[in-house]
Chains A and B, each alone.
Chain A
Amino acid sequence: MANTYTKLGSYMIPLGSGGTGIGFSSIPQTYNTLVLHVSVRSLYASGYDSLGMYLNGVQTNLSNNFMNGTGTGTSSSRSTYRAISTINAAYNNPNMFTAVTITIPNYTSSTFKQIMIESFEEGQQTAGYGVLASELWSNTAAINSVTFDTATSGVNLAPYSTFTLYGLKTS
């Protein structure tokens, strides 16, 4: 029987190193939807950080809107930057990671890509962050790579951060 929720790749940043430019390349073009499950934190020492994501090595033509909840307040914001969610950093308990799910329907289409993002970070600090977001990548190219980094220059993603990519077929 066909397994239509197929793991295409998985990577964990090993202990003793930090990661930047982590991701998946040469993504097969034979699925309909991509789903990424990410457990991540940053080595940023001063506070929370943001997870950056970009497609096909391109960081332009991005437009995001965010619904944010902190446990004490809500807000909505937008950007044209690659940061897609707030994540735990060295400021938080070292064992706490942020859960992020990213869904990209019709990733091989010649239309723009409307990306669904769900992210929840709890760090036992004064606030946690729940983020639901839409990202429009105004590019008609099929997606063949996904890359993650921190949105803070020169800061790496932390060891034990894991990234798994799944492909979902329609038949």
Chain B
Amino acid sequence: MAAQTTYTPIATVTATGSTNAYQFSSIPQTYTDIVLIGYCRSAQSAVNPGLYVRPNSGTGWSWTYLFGNGSTFASGRSTLNTGDGAAGIIIGNSATANVYASFETHFLNYSNTTTYKPYLTMSCAETGGAGGTYLWAATTNSTAAINNVIIYNDSNSNWMVGTTFTLYGITAA
């Protein structure tokens, strides 16, 4: 039996250190789900700045998060549709050198034009004695298919060298 293609790489970006946002545009509409995997560090002068992952450059959604930092467990949500919500935490340039964050975002049934789109991000940003884990569930408030995804961080800081983002397509059959 021929091997089925799963996790097909759609595109990869590698940060040069001088760009604050990366966008995957013209995303093929031929998969069932798309998955974004990131390994990243921001030039922001902070230990754990916020991560923003936005489909279709859109505003207006609702979201719920879980967060743990080794001592505190927290959860919160917003239904205000007022704009950005951080999809997670990452590593900033105040953290120890060589430490990067990992995150993964799943956009489910992203190409349908009938329903809003749920998407889920898990980000891991342990710094060695501090930092945390963040799980963020959100939905778009549009039935439009997702054809672009933009990734940026707090204060529009640059992504540092060593950062990579890869977008994969997953086919159900």
A34 to chain B, nearest CB (A): 11
Contact present for B98 and A114 (CB under 8 Å)? no
CB distance from A55 to the nearest CB of B (A): 14
Assess A78 versus B71: contact at CB under 8 Å? Given A111-B98, A114-B39: yes
Q: Nearest A residue to B38 by beta-carbon distance?
A: A105
The answer to whether B162 touches A111 (Cβ under 8 A) is: yes
Q: Are B99 and A112 in contact (CB under 8 A)?
A: yes
Q: Please pick, from B39, B100, B133, B162, the residue contacting A65 in the complex, using a CB distance under 8 A.
A: B133
Which B residues lie within 8 Å of A3 (CB)? 3-6
Asked if B76 is at the interface (CB within 8 A of a chain A CB), the reply is no
Q: Taking A134-B126, A136-B128 as contacts, is the C-beta distance between A78 and B104 under 8 angstroms?
A: no
Does B150 sit at the interface, judged by CB under 8 A?
no
Q: Which residue among A63, A76, A169, A171 has the maximum number of chain B CB atoms within 10 Å of its CB? A: A76
Q: A33-B37, A170-B12 are in contact. Are A65 and B3 (CB under 8 A)?
A: no
Q: Tell me if A65 and B98 are in contact (CB < 8 A).
A: no
CB of B70 within 8 A of CB of A66, answer yes
List A contacts of B66 (CB < 8 A).
Answer: 67, 132
Bound-complex Cα distance A5 to B170 (A): 10
Report the interface size for chain A: residues with CB under 8 A from the other chain. 42
The one of B39, B70, B125, B133 that contacts A105, using a Cβ cutoff of 8 Å: B39
Q: Of the candidates A103, A104, A116, A134, which one forms a contact with B132 in the assembled complex, judged by CB atoms under 8 Å apart?
A: A134
- CB of B99 within 8 A of CB of A66, answer no
Chain B 106-147 interface residues, beta-carbon cutoff 8 Å to A: 122, 124-129, 131-133, 135
Does A135 belong to the interface (CB within 8 Å)? yes
A152 contacts across to B, CB distance below 8 A: none
Q: Is the CB of B133 within 8 A of A67?
A: yes
The residue that B126 contacts in the complex, of A4, A65, A106, A140, with Cβ under 8 A, is A65
Nearest CB in chain A to that of B8: its residue: A4
Partner of A114, one of B4, B68, B100, B129: B100
Closest approach, in angstroms, between the C-beta of A165 and any C-beta of chain B? 14
Answer whether residue B64 sits at the interface, using C-beta atoms and an 8 A cutoff. no
With A63-B126, A67-B133, A134-B131 as contacts: A114 and B3 at CB distance below 8 Å: no
In the complex, are the beta carbons of A5 and B131 less than 8 A apart? no
A136: chain B residues at CB < 8 Å are 99, 126-128, 131
Binding site for B on A (CB under 8 A): 1-5, 32-33, 63-68, 74-78, 103-106, 109-112, 114-118, 132-136, 138, 140, 168-171
Q: List 23 A-B contacts (CB under 8 A).
A: A63-B129, A64-B126, A66-B68, A67-B73, A68-B68, A76-B70, A76-B71, A78-B129, A105-B38, A110-B98, A111-B100, A112-B98, A112-B99, A116-B103, A117-B124, A132-B135, A134-B131, A134-B132, A136-B131, A138-B96, A168-B168, A170-B9, A170-B166
